[in-house]
Amino acid sequence: MNRLVRVLGSAAALALAGCSSVPLTSIPRLARIDAKTTDLSMLRVAVQLPEVLRPRSGGVKLDVVTKVAGQAEAKTSFSMMETSEARDGGGLPAPPQGSSTHAYRLSPADAARFEALRTAMVEQGKQGRRGSMGLGLAAKEFCLANAAPQASLPVTIYLMTHETKSFVPVVRDFDMLGDPALAGGLQSIQPCRP
């Protein structure tokens, strides 16, 4: 299995992958992640965004893209559960004023699904069929916490695995209002329910 991990960020159900890039300083640390062996109990995602937006429950996803030689690429999505465990925030910088950070982990059921997918990929390799596995992060569903107009909506997405030991920025300060397609989609976001 290829050790290269593809990390994609998306927001408001539209991919940011074509609009932003992984910070250069993050690439060496992210390249150490081996999707084949990473400890899923240590896998964490954090999303930092202006307080005007909040991720909806189930709105943060981990997408796993698999490719086996001779077969079409397949994507499996796993919903991330918000967590407030003290260790989940370790290594995250304090959010700027007016922003908040939300940390997530895989549910036990989705960790088992991921493990089954990973085992199937390893088995394909044992049968001589080359394959690769990539990870994608997506914050796809938001609600509007405050209707006050904003000059910008910067989003930063972090990933932590047992290989990285701490959170690594995957997308840094991507302004959702700077992309016309995303800005248009933000107009349809519903208010958060108390």
Closest CA to 188 of 156, 152, 143: 143
Q: What is the pLDDT of residue 90?
A: 67
Q: What is the pLDDT of residue 188?
A: 76
Q: Which residue has the tokens 């302004």?
A: 175
For residue 42, how many other CB atoms are within 10 A of its CB? Answer: 14
| Cα(73)–Cα(80) distance, integer angstroms | 22
Q: Report which secondary-structure segment, H or E, holds 30.
A: helix 27-31
Q: What is the pLDDT of residue 13?
A: 27
Residue 188 lies in a domain: no
Q: What is the pLDDT of residue 4?
A: 28
What does the pLDDT look like over 156-187, one tens digit per residue?
Answer: 888 898 898 889 998 888 888 887 777 777 77
- Number of structural domains the chain divides into: 1
Burial status of residue 106 (CB atoms within 10 A of its CB: 0-12, 13-18, 19 or more)? buried
What does the pLDDT look like over 32-75, one tens digit per residue?
Answer: 888 778 898 888 988 898 888 888 877 888 888 888 888 899 99
Residue 2 lies in a domain: no
Residue 40 lies in a domain: yes
Range of the domain at 65: 10-140+150-182
Residue 109 lies in a domain: yes
Residue 156 lies in a domain: yes
Residue 159 lies in a domain: yes
| Cα(59)–Cα(63) distance, integer angstroms | 12
Residue 187 lies in a domain: no
Chain centroid to CA 3: 18
Residue 118 lies in a domain: yes
| Cα(122)–Cα(36) distance, integer angstroms | 7
Query: 120, 35 in Cβ contact below 8 A?
Result: no
